Structure formats: structure tokens, C-alpha cells
Amino acid sequence: MSILRLGELLDQKGFSGKYLAEQVDVTPATISNIKKGNHFPKEDLLIKIAEVLGVEVRDLFKTNRKLSGQPIYVEQDGKYIKVGELKLDRLDEGSVAG
């Protein structure tokens, strides 16, 4: 299960996974795996995806009050580094910027 709203956002914007893949310079299979929750993108790819979709990075994540305040980590050089926390209390349920 994916914690990202990528499929939903692609549908809302009318973009295909192939189009997004071309825009962020990855394979369509990578986008498909991200949508399915089989792969979680690194921070730089999350930023690129958000830019193409015209949303904030935080809007890529599904809202779930149980996750509020949970740490977000990115992998760098084989180690996981905390880059922030999910603060869902600042988001409206299902909101998308743009």
C-alpha cells in the first residue's frame, strides 16, 4: 500500500504515468512502482514530481490522522536520515494546492 496520492493526483491533472516519467527523467516502470507502493522515491524525485504536478511535496502524501507527527526519512549513502515529520493537522482532508 502506498502512502502517496500519486495515482489520484495524476488522474486529477489528466497526466499519464508515462508523461510524468518523461518529465522527471525516470522510467514509466519506476512511476508505476511508486504508485503501487513498491518503491518510495528519494527526496529529489519527490520534489520533481510535486513540481510537475503543481503541488506541494506534502500534498503527495495521503492524509491519515494516525500518521500525524510521524518522522519522514530519506535514504542517503545507505543510511536513513530524518528530514521532517508529517504534520497533517495543517492540511485539509484531500486538499491539493495548485
Q: What is the DSSP letter of 42?
A: -
d(CA 78, CA 86): 23
- Helix, strand, coil content of the chain in percent (nearest 5): 45, 15, 40
Task: Provide the H-helix boundaries in the chain.
Answer: 6-13, 17-24, 28-36, 43-53
> How much is the pLDDT for 98?
40
pLDDT (tens digit, 9 = 90+) per residue, 35-91? 998 999 999 999 999 999 999 998 898 875 554 567 788 888 888 888 887 765 554
**The C-alpha cell of 83 is what?**
528530514
Tell me how many degrees the CA angle 55-40-17 measures, rounded to the nearest 5.
60
Residue 93 has pLDDT above 60, yes or no: no
Whole-prediction pTM: 0.64
What local confidence, expressed as pLDDT, does residue 52 receive?
A: 96
